[in-house]
Structure 1
Amino acid sequence: MKILFYLMRSVLYLRFFFHKLTATGSFGRSRARREPLAPTGQSNPVKAGLYRHYVKQFHESSCSVASVACVVNTLLENQGRLPQKPVTQQDLLNRVTAAHWKERMGPDGYQGRRGLPLPVLGQVVKASLDEFQIDYQDIQVVQATRDPSNAADFCQTLKFRLAQFDRFGDGIIIAHFDQGSLVTDLNIPHISPVGGFDPDTGDVTILDVDSSQPYPYTVSFNRFYRAVSTHYLHLFHLFGYGRGGYIYIKK
C-alpha cells in the first residue's frame, strides 16, 4: 500500500510540475481570484452563516470534516438551535459513526482508505444532519458527467441551484472536485462548500477548507464545472474515487 501511495504522489507531482512549466491548468491565464473572508451587504442568512462558520481542515485528508462542520453549524444557526459552543470537527468525528468516518481520518485510514469519495460523503452528510436533528427536505448525491448528452442538463440544474442558494439560501452545495483544476496545487480529490454565485457573470465562490488557501476564491462556472466533472487519476479508483460532483442539501 505504501508503494502505491508513493507512486501516486510521484505521478501527481510530475503532473503538477508539467502544468507549472507549461503555464497550463491552474497555472494558465484564467486563475482563481481571492475573495474577502466576509461578504459585504449580505442579506442571505445562510450564505452569511457559511462564511461565519468557515473553518480549515485539521490535516491533509480531513476536508470532509471541515466542510460538514461549516454546514452543520450554519444550518443549526439558521434553525435557531446553534449551541453556545459551535459543533467542532472533533465533535462530528466522535458522534457520527457512518462510513467509519473517524477511522478514515486516522493516519492509516479505514482498511487503508483515507478521505471520502463522493457517495461516502453523501452518507456522512446525511448522518451528520440526522445526528444533530437538523431539518431538511432532501439530500442528493450528484455525480458530474462530461457525456455531451447529459452535460447540458447537469449544468443547467447546477446553475439554477447555485442561483437559488445565492439569492434565497434555500439549498447548500458541498463540492467534490479536483483541487488542482482550480488552484495551483496537486490534482487530488477535494471537498469544500460553495460560498456564492454571481448569476450575471457565472462566477462561483469556493470556501476552500484547505489551510494552504487562506481566503475563499472565485472561479468561472465553466472552470468550476470542469473541476467537479474531473475523472480522477486512475490510481485513485483503487480507493473508491471515480468522478467528482456535489452534495445538494435542500432546506
Structure 2
Amino acid sequence: MKKSTIVHLRFPFSFFLLPVFLFAAACLPETDWLKLALIFVLLHFFLYPASNGYNSYYDKDEGSIGGVKVPPKVTKELYYVSWVMDVIAIVIGLVLSWQFAAMMLVYGLVSKAYSHPSIRLKKRPIIGWLTAGVFQGYFTFMMVCVGMGYQSLLFSPMLQWAGLLSTLLLFGSYPMTQVYQHEEDARRGDITLSLILGVLDTFHFTAVCFSISMALFYWFFTTYFSFTMALLFLVSLSPVLIYFGYWYLQVRRSQEQANFENTMRLNLVSSACLNAFFTWLLLY
C-alpha cells in the first residue's frame, strides 16, 4: 500500500471521533467488553478511515486537511482501499447483528454522498452541516448501542437525549474544523457553513452551540447520573473553554491565527478532555 494512501486514511483522526463511541458505551446498563472492542476496531480502524480516504480522493486537497498539514497527492489506490475497508467493516459487523452491519452500510453511503461530485453534500452548507452532525453524532451513538445488542432501549428517553447531545456537540465543533479551509473550499466551490459565517462568526456560532450543549449536558447528568457527575463534566471541559477563549482573542487581533495548527490544537484539547471524562464514566 502506498504511503500516500495510508496518510489519507488518517487513522489518528479517529481520536477526534472517539468521544461519541465512549459516551454511548458509558450510557448502556452493562458492558460486553469483547463486543465493545470489536465495535471500536470496526469504527475507528475501518469505517472512519474509509470515509476519510474516500473524501480525500474526491477533494484532492492541496492545502491542509484534518490531521494532515501537507497532504500528498491521492492515487486510484486510495479509492479502492476505501471501498475495501468499508466492505470489511460491514461483513465483520454481521457477527454482531445484521442491524449493526446495515447501519454501517448507511453511514458509509452517506459519507460517500458527502464527498462524491455527483451529490457532494459538502458544498451545501446547511445540509452538509446537518449530515455531519447527525451521522457522526446521533446516528453513530445509536449504531454503538445496536452493536452492543441494546436495540430494545434505543427509544428510551436517556439514550435519545444522549444521542441528541452528541449531535449538538458536533453542530458546534464541526464549523470550527472548516475555519482554516475557507480559501481552499471557495476555490473548489464547496460553500461550507463556516465559509458563509466568516471567521469570527464561526467562533461566535460555536460558542453559542457549546453554551447550549453544556447547559443540556448539565441537565442530562443531573437527571440520569448525579449532580457530582454533572459538575465533573463541566470541570473536565474547562481546558477547552480556556483555550477557545485564548484562541478567539488571538483571532480578533489577526485572522491569520485561524490556521491549521490552532484548529488541530483545539480539536486535540476538546477530544482529549471528552475522551478522558467518558472513559472515566464508562469505568465508573
Whose strand fraction is larger, Structure 1's or Structure 2's?
Answer: 1
With the shorter chain as reference, the TM-score category is: 0.3 to 0.5
- Structure number with greater CO (CA < 8 Å, separation at least 6) is 1
Larger Rg: 2
TM-score, normalised to structure 2, is 0.30
Whose helix fraction is larger, Structure 1's or Structure 2's?
Answer: 2
TM-score, normalised to structure 1, is 0.33
